[in-house]
Structure 1
């Protein structure tokens, strides 16, 4: 029992913060506190959004099916493409046109949407990755929130894909293309009148209003 007390005494003194000497007379080092990094692993910082601002201009460009404008940077890079796409032959008579927006993208993960941020509001477009072209594209309806934001926005246009944000100045060409792509007002009025005159339940039986191409 005495031997146990002799061995336990130095440990008790260390716990109380007292200096303990060895048999040789040298002081025993006090135990170092456990570092916080030893208790829990440090959390990795969240990835930051990469914002790239471009100077350049909008111009008309060739399109295989419809009208197209492109924003080209001062270094000659095509940054953003906006197309008013005509309906294909299988869409039927009176099918609406659609807007298609594209921009370069080289991320590891496939994005699900393209975000549009303007002074007139924000919109989202369902995204599709074109791996061979190194780009992401999205088709949306001419009467969607994304289209309204493009047509009415002023100043900077921000196109966000994943953690990559492109900032370019908007232009009157953008608003003109969106407006020209929309159906004539006469067709819109005719469509509204037809919906009002249709007997109750007829729209539901026929499957409802036609689905808009890729609208958000």
Structure 2
């Protein structure tokens, strides 16, 4: 009888351990799902900010209602190049604030619990801390995980990176044998800055036609008739 009781106790303990393991796995799955949902929400917020900013520029140049996708892409890139006021984009400003928070977590005056959680979270691929670490390494801000970011030239560095990214995208001819839609535009547009016509041309229709012509998106009758 004693043996039977012992066996029953062992079985009960094993069942309880199995239940606990299943519960832990379910909790981990729920946490991962929550993290994925948070990531998706963050990406949607960033996309919304970026899209709103682009829409304002396109609206100013009267290019918001272009129907062809290729014209939209080329005109969007040209609008970014033509309307540049020298300040960081919404996406870049968010990155600056993220890097500032990273520095706060690395500082000595941060609470011990915060530093422990931060150190633990860096090892989790889906965590905010790990994603920021990848972003920091992308910009080559730090060499070691424990390093702080030098914030003295942070704005200038991100601004320079944005300009270089725009220039690389301008000269990206992937899957285009004859060059992309902006092959004419990039002959005279060598750097991202606000062009004079944006400030001087007050008539919205004239400004729109100038922008389309510069971006190679204006459907001139002489061009469409040539291949008719």
Q: Same fold (TM over 0.5)?
A: no
Structure in which a larger fraction of residues adopt helix: 2
Q: TM-score, normalised on structure 2? A: 0.26
Q: TM-score, normalised on structure 1? A: 0.27
CA radius of gyration, larger in? 1
Q: Which has the higher contact order (CA 8 A, sep 6+)?
A: 2
